[in-house]
Amino acid sequence: MSILLALSCLALAGPAIAAFPDCTTGPLANNTVCDTSASPVARATALIGLFTLEEKINNTGNTSPGVPRLGLPAYQWWQEALHGVAESPGVIFAETGEYSYATSFPQPILMGAAFDDELINQVATIVSTEARAFNNANRSGLDFWTPNINPFKDPRWGRGQETPGEDPFHLQSYVYNLITGLQGGLDPEYKRIVATCKHYAGYDLENWEGNVRYGFDALISIQDLSEFYTRSFETCARDANVGAFMCSYNAVNGVPSCANSYLLQDILRGHWNWTSDDQWITSDCDAIQNIYEPHYYAPTRELTVADALNAGADLDCGTYYPENLGAAYDEGLFAESTLDRALIRQYASLVKLGYFDPAENQPYRQIGWANVSTPEAEELAYRAAVEGITLIKNDGTLPLSPSIKSLALIGPWANATTQMQGNYYGQPPYLISPLMAAEALNYTVYYSPGPGVDDPTTSSFPAAFAAAQAADAIIYIGGIDTTVEAEAMDRYTLDWPGVQPDFIDQLSQFGKPLVVLQMGGGQVDDSCLLPNTNVNALIWGGYPGQSGGTALMDIIVGNAAPAGRLPTTQYPLDYVYQVAMTDMSLRPSATNPGRTYMWYTGTPIVEFGFGLHYTNFSAELSQPSAPSYDIASLVGACEGVAHLDLCAFESYTVNVTNIGSKVTSDYVALLFVAGEHGPAPIPNKVLAAYDRLHTIAPLSSQQATLNLTLGSLSRVDEYGNRVLYPGEYTLILDVLPQATVSFTLTGEEAYLDYWPQPPA
């Protein structure tokens, strides 16, 4: 008799709540799963041993019905918390009152622009604390499918706003601090929540010229896969000990990611040693089904689910596993032990979350509504927005003069509220638009929405021009929006959309101070604004979250000082005609000008890492301790270091002085490595270290310590191996160099890491 899905069990699962099993008087009370002295794996193994085969198969989808006869509740594995507890199948916001909102931080692309790892850890701690409060109130599960840690290499990508930026080292530092904040440490006795690094791997295309993410085959060289596309995932697995991974929709070199044993086994679980039996892999939603169609990788549905399960995809976000694993088992396509392994991994992770433990035995079951949207959380949401906002142009007009009493706030973002959150957002306690913030500052405000983001008409011009004429200064707030950069949707142009460029040009002819705010996650070409002397200032504001309007206006009037740095390159318009989104290669070629600041051979409109201040800084970089270093001696000093790329090289001191006399400001110290060494063509330069110094007062100094490792100096060869090459190395402080120092590595090249080669 075939083992088929008991559909009635799914139907009975009801809403996605997170009731806890009764380990005191319930059916599981005497089972090892409720024995707090046993290991998580032993406890989960005992639980799964009670399941029938049908019950095992029933619980392989994200909406798991549990096992009612055992007192195991239904469980929803799918929660979202990209920049705050977010709307998702497993998160239930109340209509009013308690649990009707949660703190909504800026999108990761803007928080990435802060280059402040401590900030990211604090944000993650608050997000996971609020997630625990929701879980304790049966309003969410404990597994959150965040963060999106794919590098943002192409400005057309619709989901780039969900990431911290384009630089792999920056992403590694960001995600380490995010994961440890979300989970409550590297290996705590109880995890606060389980985070999920996604989308593994090579995922940065939604829908571009008929190429759709569900069936796209990303052709990636082993060098690029190792050097760029997987570095942040290595940190998730090897260094930050993340609890879960998500395999992506796309294929990599012909094999769908969720059936790709080279990705899921050889690299993830083998090379990165992500081997704990409480760590598991989920598919992206319906990605298992996509293996069958439109990838057409497996000829039958039964082979499709077996390929994914055998490759290591433990959970199906969808229903393809529950619907087809029974028939696949009947055909002998997988062993029951493989199914057990998947379920044990998931339920062992719930053990690590305290799911089966008495509330009084663990630290997080006492968290409640009083811990949601606290004054500290609201202040941090505001600070995260301020720290990321980036000043691109300023002729001295900003901060606005106190003599300016009235403002014309014009543009499709001028009264934005929900729009300020980007995507994957929840219900915030409040949303402050720029208009609301300007009025709160007691300006006389003349507001006009002007033309919409994609509006091709000029019908709104007269009302907007009347507002501009009436005011002392003009603030235009526009750019792109989630309607043209979003999941399942990529952009085709880097221009300001609609009639915005012409409209801004006409505003610049009023002879009044004009400040332009470019909003949205991806960069657009600002070359129509930068040379226009009547556009006095230009700010990139990203998606700044619940306090976005306040943060933007405080920057404009000088209540806060800008110190953000662009986390992506701003390319010229013709970049989109020079390289296809489907081209995954990074290095320049006859059909590719190069990707990201590391390999781009053209002239960017605005560089990665660029950002102006309201004051001026000088910075001094300490000298190397020696003019040259022997490679064999450097590597030989790393005895006992588990990963040679993390072995310390040298620390450099940066002494930063605010040489202005009026404005206190933060400063981000960026340290790049450049040099003629390694495989050609090598990167132009690579970010090796950074630190954000806070509130440097006028005419005072602060010191940053930037730590380099052997990995900071290494390059990746064509086989994906990380190699320390001899040659001259130059350290460059800041984008517009404040200082440079050089040294030489001598001797024979040394391999710091050997990348696993794909099957023939």
H/E stretch holding 540: strand 537-542
Per-residue DSSP letters for 406-432? Answer: EEEEESTTTT-SGGGG-SS----S---
Given a contact cutoff of 8 angstroms between Cβ atoms, the answer to whether 225 and 174 are in contact is no
Tokens of 443: 């300006």
Question: Do 569 and 687 meet the contact criterion of CB atoms below 8 Å apart?
Answer: no
Residue with tokens 């630190």: 691
Q: Per the omega criterion (within 30 degrees of 0), is the bond before 73 cis?
A: no
Q: In 3D, which of 345, 340, 261, 331 has the Cα closest to residue 297? A: 261
How many angstroms separate the CA atoms of 542 and 114, rounded? 12
On the 0-12 / 13-18 / 19+ scale of CB atoms within 10 A, 749 is: middle
DSSP 613-680: -SS-EEEEEPPPSSSEEEHHHHHHTTTT-S-GGGSEEEEEEEEEEE--SS--EEEEEEEEEE-S-SSS
User: How many Cβ atoms from other residues are within 10 Å of residue 528's Cβ?
Assistant: 18
Q: Write out the two tokens for 104.
A: 């909504």
490 alpha carbon, distance to own chain's centre: 17
> By the 8 A CB rule, do 681 and 699 touch?
no
Separation of alpha carbons 64 and 57, rounded Å? 10
Structure tokens at 312: 């290591």
Residue (of 554, 552, 549) closest to 431 by Cα position: 549
Return the exposure string of 322-331: e unless at least 16 CB atoms fall within 10 Å of the residue's CB, then b: bbbbbbbbee
The answer to whether residue 284 is catalytic is: yes
Quick one: which of 240, 146, 90, 113 has its CA closest to 520? 113
Asked if omega into 147 is within 30° of 0 (cis), the reply is yes
Contact 489, 386 (CB under 8 A): no
Whether 75 and 55 have beta carbons less than 8 Å apart is answered as no
DSSP H or E segment with residue 177:
helix 168-183
Whole-angstrom distance, CA of residue 330 vs CA of residue 305: 13
Q: How far apart are CA 70 and CA 51, in angstroms?
A: 9
CB-count burial class (<10 Å; 0-12, 13-18, 19+) for 15: exposed
Cα angle 182-185-190, degrees, rounded to a multiple of 5 = 85
Of 143, 167, 224, 284, the catalytic one is 284
User: Is the Cβ–Cβ distance between 327 and 300 less than 8 Å?
Assistant: no
Phi, psi (5° rounding) for residue 622?
Answer: -65, 155
> What residues pair up with 61 in beta bridges, in sequence order?
316
**Reduced 3-state DSSP string for 244-273:** EEEECCCEECCEEHHHCHHHHHHHHHHHCC
- For residues 166 and 152, is the Cβ–Cβ distance under 8 A? yes
In degrees to the nearest 10, what's the CA dihedral of 202, 203, 208, 211? Answer: 70
Catalytic residues: 284
